[in-house]
Amino acid sequence: MTHAEPLDWSTVYWDFLPRIYNFVLYKVGDPTLAEDLTSTTFVEVWRCRQRYSATKGALSTWIFTIAQRVVITHYRQRRSHELPLFDAAHLPNATVVADVVEKKEAIGELVGQLRQLPDRDHDLVALKYGAQLNNRQIAQLLGLSESCVGTRLHRIIGRLRSVLGVDHNV
Amino acid sequence: MCEDFDRFMHDYRTDPDREFAASLHARLAHMDTQAEQSRQRGLLGRLLRRTGYETYGSDQKGPLMKPRSPWKIRLVVTMLAIAFFVAIPPLRALATDILQQLGVLTITNAPTVVEQELATRPEDREKNLPSVGLDGFSSVGAAQVSAAAGFPVYEPQYLPEGGRLFDWESIRIEDPTPRAAIISMYQISTKPTYLTLTQQPQSSLTSDEIQVGSATTQKVMVGSNEAIWIERIALAKTGPNNEELAYVNGLMWQADGYHFWLSGDTDTSLETLKSFAESLAPGQ
């Protein structure tokens, strides 16, 4: 998408919606909550969009920075209402999710594992596989080197393959 | 990374529900319509409508509105206070710079509400803006104002010499989601001005940007919390025709899950505001 001309924000919405939604889904593991936080993200994007300037960075960097803040704010608000050990052991709506569809159960299981990682590593995975950003874009967003992003992702995925029982012959 | 090594990680992706996607798109389009209507009605009117104060003085709607209290003071103080948690898009393209960060908040040099308003054509502005008056007051108890807001009001253990509580307001902002804030006004006997404290739950902040325009900023500490000292921020208008900007000094910080904004006139020192801020505690 070129930024030389005024952005068509409706197109931006449809382009980014699946990526924002999946980024949030890989962060929170709950489809309903992911919809809520996706809505919050886009309302913020919409409200502030006149301030976006292509000269100050890529559109994806700007939008995903907002999405990251929305997720962080959500956890900050929730933290005061939960005991520390509750978070890792009980996924949001885990039992409900399991009753609905297998795919939703799977993302819940994945996010349960991701939550045991440092926040930054969880972000890496959500940005790579949820938001479908490449390593260079992730590096820009998180202030890391591109090689560092690749190395850390490789290590994380290796661990996930093991704990999730992914076929090692694949 | 081997092509198959991480293939399974993509399998967790799912398309957003179509109904959700369409509904959100419609909501965003509706925001545009509302924003355009608000712009046409003028910025001050938009701000006041957000607080439910637009009709104040005529039908006394809203929480804790006391007929004895002069509406002009409330109007102006409210506008000063809400200017800090209502970020609005600049009216013209500006090279906005980030001045400070406070948690997730970004403090930028984008123009404040009144700076933007003065930049608009006179015929587009709200007419007959109020000036500040200083007669009479009435107060309610801490329990009452806390109950109205839904959270405990913080009170200072320290006040400058001759200082006293002038008034409390519990205000409600409806747009985009209902949320409450408490505005506490303290009168200093040696001055014809007030110290104004705005307190709102951090969770109710809907903007991640604070616009301070031409003000200068400095990071300081309030107790163990980071704070931003803001000097000469334009948050009101003055003069016979409301053509001049009026400035305040203020301190902004977050503590105990609340966002605080404490302001006084431009003679108010950082030390005075810090002493006040560090003495705040939940009311009894």
Residues B89-117 have pLDDT tens digits of 444 444 567 788 887 778 887 777 667 76
pLDDT at res. B176: 55
Q: What pLDDT digit, counting tens, does each position of A59-70 carry? A: 998 999 999 989
The predicted model gives B15-43 an average pLDDT of: 74
DSSP 8-class letter at B57: T
Residue B17 lies in a domain: no
Q: Nearest residue on chain A to B15, judged by CA atoms?
A: A18
SS3 B40: helix
Is the pLDDT score of B46 beyond 80?
no
Nearest CB to A51: which of B7, B27, B89?
Answer: B89
Angle at A154 between CA A151 and CA A158, to 5 degrees: 145
What burial letters (b/e) apply to B106-124, b meaning 16+ CB within 10 Å? Answer: bbbbbbbbbbbbbeeeeee
Nearest CA-CA partner of B224 in B278, B275, B271, B263: B278
Instruction: Return the CATH number at B230.
Output: 3.30.200.100
Top residue of B1, B7, B9 to mutate, by most chain A CBs within 10 Å, is: B9
Q: Give the pLDDT of residue A89.
A: 33
Closest to B210 in 3D by CA, of B50, B88, B46: B88
Which tens digit of pLDDT belongs to each residue from A18-38?
Answer: 999 999 999 998 899 999 999
Q: Is residue B29 part of a domain?
A: no
Chain A to chain B Cβ contacts (< 8 Å): 96
Is residue B103 assigned to a domain?
yes
Question: In Å, how far is B87's CA from the nearest CA of chain A?
Answer: 9
B47 close to B79: Cβ distance less than 8 angstroms = yes
**Among partner residues A21, A80, A157, which is closest to B5 by beta-carbon distance?**
A157
pLDDT higher at B129 or B281:
B281
DSSP B204-263: G---SEEE-TT-EEEEEEETTEEEEEEEEEEEEEESTTS-EEEEEEEEEEEETTEEEEEE
Contact A150 B257 (CB under 8 A): no
Identify whether B31 is part of a domain: no
pLDDT of residue A94: 37
Alpha helices, DSSP H, located in chain B: 7-10, 18-41, 43-51, 71-82, 113-118, 142-149, 270-278
Is A117 in CB contact (< 8 Å) with chain B?
A: no
Neighbouring residues of B112: CB distance < 8 A, sequence distance ≥ 6: B83, B211, B212, B213, B215, B233, B234, B235
Pairing of strands B163-173, B154-156: unpaired
Give me the amino acid identity at B2. Answer: C
Identify the residue with better confidence: A4 or B40: A4
Average pLDDT over residues A80-104: 40
Structurally, chain B folds into a number of domains equal to 1
Q: Output the pLDDT for position A81.
A: 44
Q: Is residue B225 part of a domain?
A: yes
The domain ranges of chain A are: 9-164
Whether the pLDDT of residue B277 is over 80: the answer is yes
Please tell me the distance from the alpha carbon of residue B141 to that of residue A16, in angstroms, as a whole number.
49
Q: Looking at the domain assignment, is residue B16 inside a domain?
A: no
Those of residues 87-116 in B touching chain A at CB distance below 8 A are: 87, 89-90, 96, 104, 110
Contact between A47 and B14 using a beta-carbon 8 Å cutoff: no
Mean pLDDT of A89-110: 52
Q: Does A44 touch chain B (CB under 8 A)?
A: yes
Contact call for B20 and A13, based on CB within 8 A? no
User: Are the Cβ atoms of A51 and B21 closer than 8 angstroms?
Assistant: no
Residue-range definition of the domain harbouring residue B135: 36-282
Q: What does the block give as tokens for B148?
A: 């109205």
Q: What was the pLDDT predicted at B85?
A: 54
B281 touches chain A (CB under 8 A): no
At residue B202, the pLDDT reads 80
B10 occurs within a structural domain: no
Cross-chain residue pair B25–A10, CB shorter than 8 Å: yes
pLDDT > 80? residue A114: yes
